[in-house]
Amino acid sequence: MGASPVSHNNPDKKYMLKIPVQKRSKETVASIVESCARLLVQEPYHAITTDKIAEMAGVSIGSLYQFFANKEAIVAAVIDDLLQKDLVYIEENLAKLTTTDLDTKIHAFIDIGFARFHDNRPLRTALQGVQGMLDYWETRRVFFEHYQKAVLAHMPQIPGRDREMIALFIVSSFNNILQLSLLGPQSPERENEIKKEVFILINRYLKP
């Protein structure tokens, strides 16, 4: 099928009926998720069916229903897969930071986030319209916890303040800003302006 197996860090994966164990089953699930992602970019959400997903994935509808109860569960898997790939990218790039200068770290943090969100922008934009109807909060919780730890590793000690809470606020706020930036007009100038404002927001929050 040519698709790489989907790797999840979310141990519950409540959207799945069965967790794939064998290589072939993992490839089947990966192909289903990949095909759903492609359809989300190509068609309106209401036009996508499990039959279409199975046909594009090259699997039987019976095979699809072994792992997913419905279309919503597959879309939740698409979101999970995207978030986990985001997490790997962000953690790997944050780990490369060697500077001790806080301003430089903040700029790097912002650049890493925007660089990652440029990847697969059409899918992210499509998902904006359907996330509200899906139960994927456990996946987001795991993502935020890992991202929070990555940010904590680069934050200065701030006497009298809860560093974990600060990191969570920064991650949550920045993620929402990135999500909102997908909805507006796209241009390098606008992105640079957003980056400037985000820098001011985080910098002042860390150094009140």
Per-residue pLDDT of the chain (208 residues; tens, 9 = 90+): 333 334 434 446 778 999 999 999 999 999 999 999 999 999 999 999 999 999 999 999 999 999 999 999 999 899 889 988 988 898 889 888 888 899 999 999 999 999 988 888 899 888 887 876 666 666 677 778 888 888 888 888 888 999 999 999 999 999 889 888 766 777 889 899 999 999 999 999 998 6
Place of tokens 């800003």: 177
The whole-angstrom separation of Cα 124 and Cα 37 is 10
CA separation, residue 153 to residues 1, 149, 167, 196 (Å) = 39, 6, 10, 23
Please tell me the predicted confidence (pLDDT) of residue 10. 44
Contact 130, 78 (CB under 8 A): no
Going by C-beta distance under 8 Å and a sequence separation of 6 or more, which residues neighbour residue 99? 105, 108
Among 189, 120, 121, 108, smallest CA distance to 150 is for 108
Please tell me the predicted confidence (pLDDT) of residue 133. 63
Chain centroid to Cα 207, Å, comes to 28
Task: Return the sign of the alpha-carbon dihedral for residues 164, 166, 167, 168.
Answer: positive
**The amino acid at 66:** Q
pTM confidence score: 0.81
Strand partners, 16: 68
